[in-house]
């Protein structure tokens, strides 16, 4: 597309007007046979629709297009044109051949450029002189701080709301389980139903657990205290572990309740190589794993027990 005629200083000769877009020629091309000249972009777009010269309608192909005569391009290059950023306050008229260079350096450029003083912030070029890196960065930090504070508040509100909802649901589930237990106790035939439900709960929980890798078996805690056990019990139940199973696993979290092959330090040292063969599942958010019998049928009987056991570590679980 050609340049708008209104951007030029004085009148522009009709010889330099593209008859397709009616603007001043931009990157002119000539049709070899008839020597008519048009903007390159205009002519290419025209020939996509019509294979003929726009003026005399003679057949034309792209192979028949040539560069405009040097006399034409020289005269065009000397025309005085207003800067692209005249609407933003630039008063300059420059030779057409100098326009790209002037536009690159024009101080009225409203498009953002990167500050070269050190802050790296994108600033409209026409505001560079008034740009203060410290003030701009302080404004950004304050804005981000405000956004972070808002997000933290929203997250706390969401967490509180979620915890309340989880608490309500947990209470309702526990009530249902208590009702089911009462029904089972009064009707022995319901024990099979209870067993099926517990198996289903166990399967759902097991599928959600991620496989873990223990990097140092020697760092296991063989005698965790009550606080550590309570923390792991909470993590198990929060992850969906059935209550009865969580209680059984926590009972098997100390070496006094582990199978014979793990019950003493010498036995654990002797079987350390075998321990690397365990299929372990990570207890969410904890440096602890659960080793379930259903995953470890390949292990020796003195290293596994029903339904499984819990092991806690010091920064050795991945």
Assess whether pLDDT exceeds 80 at residue 82.
Answer: yes
CATH number of the 5-82 domain: 3.30.40.10
Model confidence pLDDT, tens digit, residues 27-58: 999 998 889 999 999 999 999 999 899 989 98
Q: Look at residue 108 in the predicted model and tell me its pLDDT.
A: 80
- pLDDT band with cut points at 50, 70 and 90 for residue 105: confident
Report the C-alpha gap between 273 and 260 in whole angstroms: 16
Q: Look at residue 190 in the predicted model and tell me its pLDDT.
A: 63
Report the C-alpha gap between 206 and 223 in whole angstroms: 25
Q: Mean pLDDT in the chain?
A: 84
Model confidence pLDDT, tens digit, residues 274-294: 888 999 999 888 888 989 988
Model confidence pLDDT, tens digit, residues 167-193: 788 778 778 777 766 776 676 666 666
DSSP category for residue 12: -
Report the C-alpha gap between 113 and 131 in whole angstroms: 12
Task: Supply the DSSP string of 102-119, one letter for each residue.
Answer: HHHH-TT--SEEE-TTTT
Mapping DSSP onto H, E and C, the string for 147-168 reads HHHHHHHHHHHHHHHHHHHHHH
For 157-166, the CB contacts below 8 A with 24+ separation are: none
């Amino acid at each position: 597309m050609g340049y708008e005629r209104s951007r030029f200083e004085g009148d522009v000769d009709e010889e330099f007007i593209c008859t397709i877009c009616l603007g001043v020629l931009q990157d002119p091309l000539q049709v070899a046979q008839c020597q008519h000249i048009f903007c390159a972009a205009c002519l290419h777009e025209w020939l996509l629709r019509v294979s003929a010269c726009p003026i005399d309608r003679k057949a034309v192909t792209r192979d028949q297009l040539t560069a405009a005569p040097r006399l034409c391009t020289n005269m065009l290059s000397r025309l005085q044109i207003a800067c692209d950023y005249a609407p933003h306050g630039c008063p300059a008229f420059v030779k057409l051949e100098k326009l790209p260079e002037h536009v690159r350096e024009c101080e009225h450029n409203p498009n953002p450029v990167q500050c070269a003083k050190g802050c790296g912030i994108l600033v409209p070029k026409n505001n560079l002189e008034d740009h203060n890196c410290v003030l701009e960065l302080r404004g950004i930090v304050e804005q981000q701080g405000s956004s972070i504070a808002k997000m933290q508040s929203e997250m706390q509100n969401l967490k509180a709301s979620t915890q309340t909802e989880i608490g309500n649901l947990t209470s309702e589930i526990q009530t249902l389980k208590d009702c089911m237990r009462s029904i089972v106790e009064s009707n022995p035939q319901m024990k099979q139903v209870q067993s099926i439900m517990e198996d289903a709960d166990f399967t759902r929980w097991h599928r959600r657990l991620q496989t873990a890798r223990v990097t140092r078996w020697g760092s296991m805690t063989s005698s965790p205290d009550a606080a550590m056990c309570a923390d792991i019990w909470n993590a198990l139940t929060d992850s969906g572990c059935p209550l009865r199973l969580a209680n059984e696993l926590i009972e098997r979290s100390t070496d006094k309740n582990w199978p014979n092959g793990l019950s003493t330090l010498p036995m654990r040292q002797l079987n350390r190589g075998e321990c690397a063969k365990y299929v372990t599942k990570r207890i969410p958010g904890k440096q602890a794993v659960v080793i379930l019998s259903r995953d470890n049928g390949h292990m020796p009987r003195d290293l596994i027990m029903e339904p499984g056991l819990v092991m806690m570590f010091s920064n050795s679980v991945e």
